[in-house]
Each structure stands twice: as structure tokens, then as C-alpha cells.
């Protein structure tokens, strides 16, 4: 089986409401949807959601990287040769993990379809019965976040993720405590600062005020790359610490393990380059006694389902937060959510159907690499 042609779609997914985190406000979500076709007529889907704040990739630049470099390089290759494909992409251009993830995910979709198996069966099988996800609340006033949190509890969600870190750490503490007061003591709450508290001192002061709030963890409280600083925050506080933007590669993970800098790591396919590396990182974390999460860069059903397949295959991936499709007012796939669970179909590959008419409608521009695309 050989990859014969590719079609790349630059898409902008409309959101129900703006998505607000510490470093950006998104009125819509830019994404690159990839189709890879093989000589036996199979089509695999992949996705890249570049984030210049995290991986240093930009939407239009990643489109050109795929179009001019990565897609021509994989034409003629067997999608099962996933290590060779990654080696080839790495030899062409360093970094660019989201662009590489698009190719990786499409290859796994093809592998599953060719073998008649869901992707998780190619990675280790079904390690858990259910996959769940939280209600994610973007940054708003303490009162509005508390109100939305209460509505989420009443709607049947089993956990909450609060986005904070917009510049005022004390106001963030008020947001978190307001939500805790509104939902009661038993609802699991995760806090994601997205680097917003920046310094060790600010993070420690804020977290110490939250030590009686019963938080599951505080995620990436300081700037990315400062692993020693993250270790210091962990040593000086009593709330579990999750590393996110700081852990993008296996090298980052090894340094976090060496410095005992986090209790949990947040693996994202867009940060590490796809399913292949995500599973490797989860196995390495397991050897170090660490738990993992598969997190989201607000992807569609394509990359979200890929993340859920990776999570299904590994016992130490205990949480998932791939909720992008729920935030979109228009989507291209049919990944099924019944909160608090997501339901993988068990069909071959990613197990989703992509609606070509919706894809066409949401596409801003597209290109073909290789032969004519049917």
C-alpha cells in the first residue's frame, strides 16, 4: 500500500462563543484538514491545529510546510512505515509538530482502515471501558464562571476545567473559589493557567490560597520552558502540578522526570507530532510512575478522535480533554459525545465519517499534491 496523493484544506471552524484563554481570544478556530489517498483507494484523514504561542507554528505557514515539504515527501511511502515517515519529516524540517501530526494521524487512519481495526487496537487495545471529558470554561468574571459551572453540573458533567491566567492572579483565585463555592466540595475541578502566572513567586502565592479548594491539579502555572521553576512551584505547594506547554518532546519529558517537576503531564498530539510520539511519551511517563492526560488544541472530530484512540490504548492516560467539536457551531465529523463520556465507534481507523459538503463549506483554500484527487 502506497500513498499516492494528498489534499489539504485550510479551514476555519466557527465557535458558539469566543474561546478565551490567558494568551489569546479566538473568534474562530483555524485548522488544516488533510486527506491522504492510497493506491488501493483508501482515504485517511489527519488534522493540524498550529498555535504560534505554544509550538511556534502559524496557520498559513503550516499550510505551506505541508504543501511544499511534508506531503511531497510522503507520496509513495507506505503509511504503515510510520517511524520512517517521521524520520523523513524530521530530516526535512525540525520542529513543526502540528504539521507532522496531520500526516501521522492520516497514516494511522489508513492503517486502521487497511487492517479493519480501530486505531486503538494498533496501539495496545482497549485499556479502559470509558473515556470521559470535562466541561471547559474559558476566562470570564467569577460570577459568570460560577454560574456556568453550576449549569454544567446540572447538565450531568462529571468534572470541570477552568481557564484562568489573564493577568491578575488574585482575580483568578476569586474565580476558582467562586466556582468551588457554587458547585460544592465534591465536583472535580482542574485549573489551567496556560502560563499566565508567569513567575514562581506569583504561582506559589496563588496556589497556596487554593490548597483547601480540593483541586485535581493546577496546570502550567508559569511560563513554558522553565522546568526548574515548575519543580520549585511543586515543591513549595500542596496542589498537584500538571505540565502542559513545558512538555512538548521526549527530551522535555525526561527533564521533567529528572527534576521531579510535575505530578501529571498533558500530552497533546499537536505538541508532540501525533499518535506515534504521544504513545511513546505515555509509556515513558508510566515507567517514571507518572499519570498522563491527552489534551486539546481545540481540534475537530479528526484530531480529537485520534487523541481519544491514543488515550484508550494506555492505562496511565487517565484523563482526556478533547472537547473541540463541542465548541464549534459547525463541524465536519461525527465523533459522538454523551456527557460525561465520548463514544468511539469501534469502526476501522479513526472510526469517524467526514462530511465532504461541510468540509467544502468551511474550507478557505485547498491544494492537491500528487495525482488527481477523486
Helices (H) and strands (E) counted in the chain, each on its own, are 15, 15
Least confident span in 11-15, 22-26, 280-284: 22-26
Domains of the chain: 3-116+355-370 (3.30.390.10), 121-343 (3.20.20.120)
In tens, the pLDDT along 114-172 reads: 999 999 999 999 999 989 999 999 999 999 999 999 999 999 999 999 999 988 999 99
**Set 148, 163, 182, 198: catalytic member:** 163
Residue 260, marked binder: no
pLDDT-derived band at 371, boundaries 50, 70, 90:
confident
CB 285 within 8 A of CB 291: yes
Q: Is 219 annotated as a binding residue?
A: yes
User: Is 51 annotated in some ligand binding site?
Assistant: no
Spatial separation of the C-alpha atoms in residues 275 and 118, rounded to whole Å: 13
Q: Angle at Cα 202 formed by Cα 200 and Cα 207, nearest 5°? A: 90
Q: What is the pLDDT of residues 219-257, one digit of tens each?
A: 999 999 999 999 999 999 999 999 999 999 999 999 999
Determine whether 361 is an active site residue.
Answer: no
- Cβ atoms < 10 Å from Cβ of 315: 12
Based on the residue annotation, tell me whether 147 is a catalytic residue of this protein.
no
**Spatial contact of 44 and 7, defined as CB atoms under 8 Å apart:** no
Taking the CA atoms of the chain, what radius of gyration do you get in angstroms? 20
The tally of CA atoms less than 13 A away on the side-chain side of residue 33 is 27
- What's the pTM? 0.94
CB 137 within 8 A of CB 327: no
Closest CA to 95 of 49, 46, 62, 59: 62
Is residue 372's pLDDT more than 60?
Answer: no
Choose among 83, 127, 94, 78: nearest CA to 314: 127
* pLDDT at 374 (0 to 100): 44
Mean of all residue pLDDT scores within the chain: 96
Least confident of 17-21, 106-110, 158-162, 171-175: 17-21
Given the residues 67, 148, 268, 271, select the one marked as catalytic: 268
Q: Which positions ≥6 away from 170 have C-beta within 8 Å?
A: 206
> Which band of pLDDT confidence, cut at 50, 70 and 90, is reported for residue 363?
very high
Confidence of residue 373 (pLDDT cuts 50, 70, 90): very low
Amino acid at each position: 500500500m502506497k500513498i499516492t496523493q494528498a489534499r489539504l484544506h485550510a479551514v476555519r471552524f466557527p465557535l458558539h462563543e469566543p474561546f478565551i484563554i490567558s494568551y489569546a481570544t479566538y473568534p474562530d478556530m483555524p485548522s488544516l484538514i488533510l486527506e491522504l489517498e492510497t493506491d488501493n483507494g483508501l482515504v485517511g484523514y489527519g488534522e493540524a491545529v498550529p498555535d504560534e504561542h505554544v509550538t511556534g507554528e502559524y496557520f498559513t505557514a503550516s499550510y505551506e510546510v505541508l504543501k511544499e515539504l511534508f506531503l511531497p515527501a510522503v507520496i509513495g511511502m507506505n503509511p504503515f512505515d510510520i517511524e520512517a515517515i517521521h524520520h523523513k519529516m524530521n530530516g526535512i524540517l525540525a520542529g513543526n509538530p502540528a504539521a507532522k501530526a496531520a500526516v501521522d494521524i492520516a497514516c494511522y487512519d489508513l492503517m486502521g482502515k487497511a487492517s479493519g481495526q480501530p486505531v486503538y487496537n494498533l496501539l495496545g487495545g482497549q485499556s479502559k471501558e470509558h473515556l470521559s471529558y470535562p466541561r471547559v470554561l474559558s476566562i470570564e468574571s467569577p460570577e459568570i464562571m460560577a454560574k456556568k459551572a453550576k449549569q454544567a453540573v446540572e447538565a450531568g458533567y462529571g468534572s470541570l476545567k477552568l481557564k484562568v491566567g489573564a493577568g491578575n492572579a488574585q482575580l483568578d483565585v476569586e474565580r476558582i473559589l467562586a466556582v468551588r463555592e457554587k458547585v460544592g466540595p465534591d465536583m472535580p475541578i482542574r485549573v489551567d493557567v496556560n502560563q499566565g502566572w508567569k513567575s514562581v513567586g506569583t504561582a506559589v502565592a496563588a496556589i497556596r490560597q487554593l490548597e483547601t479548594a480540593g483541586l485535581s491539579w493546577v496546570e502550567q502555572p508559569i511560563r513554558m520552558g522553565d522546568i526548574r521553576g515548575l519543580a520549585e512551584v511543586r515543591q513549595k505547594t500542596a496542589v498537584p502540578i500538571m505540565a502542559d506547554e513545558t512538555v512538548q518532546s521526549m527530551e522535555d519529558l525526561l527533564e521533567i522526570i529528572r527534576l521531579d517537576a510535575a505530578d501529571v503531564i498533558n500530552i497533546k498530539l499537536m505538541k508532540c507530532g501525533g499518535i506515534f510520539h504521544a504513545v511513546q511519551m505515555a509509556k515513558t511517563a508510566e515507567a517514571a510512575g507518572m499519570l498522563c492526560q491527552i489534551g486539546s488544541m481545540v481540534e475537530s472530530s479528526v484530531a480529537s478522535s485520534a487523541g481519544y484512540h491514543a488515550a484508550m490504548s494506555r492505562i496511565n492516560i487517565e484523563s482526556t480533554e478533547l472537547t473541540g467539536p463541542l465548541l464549534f457551531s459547525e463541524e465536519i465529523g461525527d465523533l459522538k459525545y454523551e456527557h460525561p463520556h465520548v463514544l468511539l465507534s469501534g469502526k476501522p481507523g479513526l472510526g469517524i465519517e467526514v462530511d465532504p459538503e461541510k468540509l467544502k463549506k468551511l474550507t478557505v483554500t485547498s491544494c492537491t499534491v500528487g495525482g488527481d484527487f477523486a
